[in-house]
Amino acid sequence: MLNQQLDRVYAALADGSRRTMVDRLTRGPATVKQLAEPLTMSLPAVLQHLRVLEESGLVRSEKVGRVRTCRLEPAALQQAEQWIADRRAGWVHRLDRLEEFLNENEGESS
């Protein structure tokens, strides 16, 4: 459940165009046109990226009149950050263990 959501968030971030879109949205809401502007691809392609971002939960959008306005959903971003932070924390804790010292110095005599 949560695992699949993490899959989608990381998969969404694994594309430069989508990261550009996310980056733009950190500076405030934007229309589809505005999100497309810095990208060198057709509008339908942008729509498909947007769909990936929405399905990952990173972005939410709402249509008013003929304009769709997109905004960031920081909870999903935080979830992805947290997973990494937790693992890095575990790794740091391991650094304190004697076992590593022993492994690194195994058979070192001269």
Partner DNA sequence: CTGTTGGTTAAGCACCTACTTAACTATTCG
Partner DNA sequence: CGAATAGTTAAGTAGGTGCTTAACCAACAG
Looking only at residues 36 through 95 of this chain, which bind a second copy when binding is defined by CB under 8 A?
72, 74, 77-78, 80-81, 83-85, 87-88, 90-91, 94
Q: Which does 44 bind (CB under 5 to 8 A by kind): a second copy, DNA, none?
A: DNA
Asked if 17 interacts with DNA (CB under 7 A), we say yes
The secondary structure of the chain, three-state, reads CHHHHHHHHHHHHCCHHHHHHHHHHHCCCEEHHHHHCCCCCCHHHHHHHHHHHHHHCCEEEEEECCEEEEEECHHHHHHHHHHHHHHHHHHHHHHCCHHHHHHHCCCCCC
Chain mean position to CA 85: 13
The verdict on 29 binding a second copy (CB under 8 A) reads yes
Contact residues: DNA, CB under 7 A:
11, 14-15, 17, 31-33, 36, 40-45, 47-50, 52, 63-68
Q: Which parts of this chain interact with a second copy (CB under 8 A)?
A: 3-4, 6-8, 10-11, 13-16, 19, 22-23, 26-29, 72, 74, 77-78, 80-81, 83-85, 87-88, 90-91, 94, 97, 99-100, 103
